[in-house]
Each structure stands twice: as structure tokens, then as C-alpha cells.
Amino acid sequence: MCSILGIFGLQPGDDSAALRVHAVELSRRQRHRGPDWSGVFVGDGAILVHERLAIVDPASGSQPLLSRDGHLALAVNGEIYNHRELRDASGYDFTTGSDCEVISALYRDGDPDFVNRLNGIFAFALWDAEHGRFLIARDPIGVIPLYWGHDAQGRICVASEMKALVGVCDDVAAFPPGHIYDSAAGGLRRYYDKPWREHAATEGTEVSPQELRRAFEQAVHRQMMTDVPYGVLLSGGLDSSLVAACAARFARDRVEDDDRSEAWWPRLHSFAIGLEGSPDLAAAQLAADSLGTEHHGFVYTFAEGLDALPEVIRHIETYDVTTIRASTPMFLLARRIKAMGVKMVLSGEGADEMFGGYLYFHKAPSAQAFHEETVAKLDALHSYDCLRANKSMMAWGVEARVPFLDLEFLDVAMGMDAKHKMAGGGRIEKAVIREAFDGALPEQILWRQKEQFSDGVGYGWIDGLKDHAEAVVTDAELASAAVDFPHNTPETKEAYLYRRIFDQHFPGQACAATVPGGKSIACSTPAALEWDPEFAAMADPSGRAVQGVHEQALAR
């Protein structure tokens, strides 16, 4: 995983040498994402800059990738998990062993829907000099961040992080997941649209526990392709523990050669963080002991988290309350992981969205409402948990992969009738995936109830943030919040504090508009707010705020 920056629409009279210097300087703002190498391509109509974090094929996979004839230039941030199958089926003249080069191969084949053949997490920019054409695309869920806009000369600019375009593009915006921009067609087109998005298409579909487990194990196995040291994030919650359990099963063999040889790093390392005495640290150690991982549980102090807060907001590029609360310990954890020489980790994001893991799903009135809310949560994931996991870890050059959002597994999990996922009435959330992995984890972990990451690292973290905001934001400032911040006006002192820091780094309404809603309360969509009147009045997004659910000890 890396960073990309592109400038398209260069004209014959443009000073390409000056623009090259300009592009390299903009790309430098996101070099933390790719500390291993920098590459630059300058063509008649485009400039591409790539900052590389070498995970697959470190020896020959530097970017931008050029075709043998020199007509194609490609810059990619991401991983293509099915690259070997695509490579074997292609007649393209490959120049590297990079998993990303299959994008050029598929484009050269001429299939207009070639992006749908990729199973991976990616954002890419491709320049075709022969036809004066360029493509920009982002993965279906938006695991990989991407922003775009126009500079003062009307050129299209694209970058992995918004900070690279601030002061350059007044109309900077998030590039939408599951979309492709093709300059030849002259517009943005959605390429990813699955039947399972409609509840009617899933009714009556059953997925056995064995099939669900096998599909997830295969997803984890696919995403373990790496030529560098890696590990797993292990909070002790269900999702990260399931990822760790599957990874532990495959860790001894090398995924890259179909498990025929011993892995280069056969001992699986796991990582957790929390305040002293946090629920997550205790649960993570229990899970690690069960799985036999080499576990590293790190303790941080409230003061250390508070010190990091401004830098966290600068890196994650949001003022969303829940995201910032959870990103800060993850940011601190990434730094410790990087110091140990690890460059890639597997993480558990996405399970709550597809299986209805948030506690308010207990209130869903019907299978259709449940399903529609999971689809809505997946659609928003790129602005919240995916953004957090990617940018918090990549702030230190650590790649986070998310097996629950593997596209093949997503088809299985979202294609099943939502009535099998529903919680409530004594049935715990995400029971269907828990049942599929019966016996794989200690009962205390397998049936542990949902806690948001910002709660699990220690309840003192959130309470301390509120107290700090109360001390540094005055009543008068909060009263004038609508004047200071007319778009997504903060409603609490904590939200005001984060917004103030955000605006120091990302001024202007366009930047503010990249954060949807400004806060992610327990029920984030209008439909879900109707499930229970109490939810609509909640100003605090902590999982503890869901009354009547969080502290219940639900029976299996």
C-alpha cells in the first residue's frame, strides 16, 4: 500500500519541468504512506507520482509501472489479491512481479468492465499516452482513500490523501468508492453494483455455517500474501479474534506459492493497545494465549493520547467524533508496530456492517430493515472505519488489510437472507458468524458482546476526552458554533474541539464537506433512527449509550 498523486490535462504550453517539481512537492505531503521509494512519470498530458510501501515484490515493483512499449503509465495504491489468476490468464507482456501490474494488462485487453475482475483494495490512476486517455478508479468499498479536484488551470488532480490537494484544488472531494472516471467517456461511472444490495434478491438464501466459515478462511488466506513481516491486530473482540484465528491456521506456509513451502515469517505476531486495565488488553491476551500468537500488548496513557490528538486529526482528515476517538490509540499502536519492523497487519473492520454487529441492530423491526441498514453502513464505511484503519496505520507506513471486506466473502455474507443475521430476543448480535466458528476461540471471546474500539481501550479514554474538551472549549465558543462552522455544526464541546483542529489543517467548505454529517451517532441513518425514539436524542456516539443493550448479559 502506498500513495499516488496525478495531474491530468497538461497542455503543450505548460512548463512540465516546473509542474514536475510541483507534483513531487505535493506528493511529499503524503510520503508517510510510502517511505520505501519515490517514483515519478512525466508525459505530454500527465504527471504521476508514487510513494511506495513495498509489500509484494519489493525488488522490482517500483511505480509508476510502465508498459513494455512505454504507452501505459500506472500508479496504484493497494493490493490485488487475485493477481496470480489474472496474470496467468493474460497475454500481456509483464515487466515486473507486482500484483498491481495486472491492471494495465486488463485495460490493454479492452474490457470496459475490467475493474470488476479485480478482487482487492485499490485506488489507481492510469495514463494511456497513445490515446491521450486517463482512468481513475477506487475499490468498491473504499478501503483505500482517494481525493480529487481541479487546480486553478482546470487540470484534474488526484491524490491518496486530501492534504496533498489542499491549497491546490478549491473543489477537493472524496472520489466515490466503486466508481471509475474515464476521460474518453468524459464522466464518472459506477462500476460496482451487486444484486444483494436489494433485500428481495437475498430472501430465502441460506448459507450454512460451514460455507460461511470456509469463505472467510479463504478471504484471510488470500490476504496473507506478503514478502515482508506482518501481523494481526487483536483487540480481543470477536472480529479481530476471528481474523487472528484464521491467520494462525495458515501462518506456517507461504501463501505466495500455494502453501508448498514454509513461510518466511512462520510465527504469527499479534498486537493490542489500551489504557492500563482496559477490557481489550485482557481479552486480547486471552485470545492470543488460545491461538498461540506471539502477542504484544501495549499500554498508553491518557496524556500520550491527548498529545497525539492534533497529529491524528491531521493524518486521518476528519472531525468525526467516533473516528477520532478510535483513531488515536490505533495511531499510537501503529507507531509501536512500525518500530518492530512489521509492515502489514490484518484487521477486523467490516464485520459489524455486514452482520449487524452494532448494538442498535437489536432494535431492527424486520429482516428488510436490517438488510437495508447493513447496505447503508457498508456504503458509509469509507468515511468511518475504513478511513480510520487505513490512515491511522499508514501514518507510520503500516498497511492494514481487511479480510471481512474481501469482495468474494462480501458476496457470500451479504447474499444471505438477513433474517438469519438478526439479533434480539435473547440472540446476540453476529450470532451467525459466531456459530460458524464454534470451537475456534475461547467461549469468553467467541460470545463477547460488542464494544466499540474507543470504549474497549478503556472507558477512561472517552471520559477524559470529554473532560479535556470541557476545559479548553468555552461556553461562548460552543454557543457561536453555527457562526464559526455553518456546515456540519458541532453540537458538543468535544466535537467543537476536533472541528477547530481540523480547520487549522483543512480550511474551507470543500474540505469540511468531505466529512459526512460531522458525527456518527449510534444510529447513523434516518431509517435506523426510527427504530427507537431514544436513539434520535443521543448526542454521544459511544456504544455504551445504547441503553438496555450494552450491559445485558445475553444468553447464547
In angstroms, the CA 318 to CA 324 distance is: 8
In angstroms, the CA 263 to CA 254 distance is: 4
Question: Which residues, 6 or more positions from 175, have their beta carbon under 8 angstroms from its beta carbon?
Answer: 123, 136, 138, 146, 147, 148, 158, 181
Fill in the amino acid letter for 526.
P
Residue 295: strand pairing partners: 270
The bridge status of strand 269-274 relative to strand 294-299 is parallel
The bridge status of strand 344-346 relative to strand 230-233 is parallel
Helix (H, G, I), strand (E, B) or coil at 18: helix
Helix axes 493-505, 459-472, angle to 10 degrees: 80
Question: Which residues, 6 or more positions from 480, have their beta carbon under 8 angstroms from its beta carbon?
Answer: none
Whether residue 64 is preceded by a cis peptide bond, meaning omega within 30 degrees of 0, is yes
In angstroms, the CA 3 to CA 38 distance is: 10
Question: Which DSSP category does 7 fall into?
Answer: E
DSSP 83-149: HHHHHHT------S--GGGHHHHHHHHT-TTGGGG--EEEEEEEEETTTTEEEEEE-SS--S--EEE
Q: Cell for 346?
A: 490484518
Residue 125: strand pairing partners: 75, 136
Closest alpha carbon to 386 in 125, 177, 219, 163: 177
In angstroms, the CA 121 to CA 116 distance is: 12
- Catalytic, 2? Answer yes
Q: Which of 2, 246, 511, 523 is catalytic?
A: 2
In angstroms, the CA 222 to CA 402 distance is: 11
Long-range contacts from 506-512, C-beta under 8 angstroms, 24+ separation = 506/162, 506/163, 506/166, 506/317, 507/166, 508/170, 510/149, 510/169, 510/170, 510/171, 510/172, 510/173, 511/162, 511/166, 511/172, 512/319, 512/485, 512/487, 512/488
In terms of C-beta density within 10 A (0-12 exposed, 13-18 middle, 19 or more buried), how is residue 445 classed?
Answer: buried
By residue count, the chain amounts to: 556
**Helix or strand run (H / E) with residue 5:** strand 3-8
In angstroms, the CA 9 to CA 491 distance is: 42
Helix (H, G, I), strand (E, B) or coil at 300: coil
Q: Kindly list the catalytic residues.
A: 2
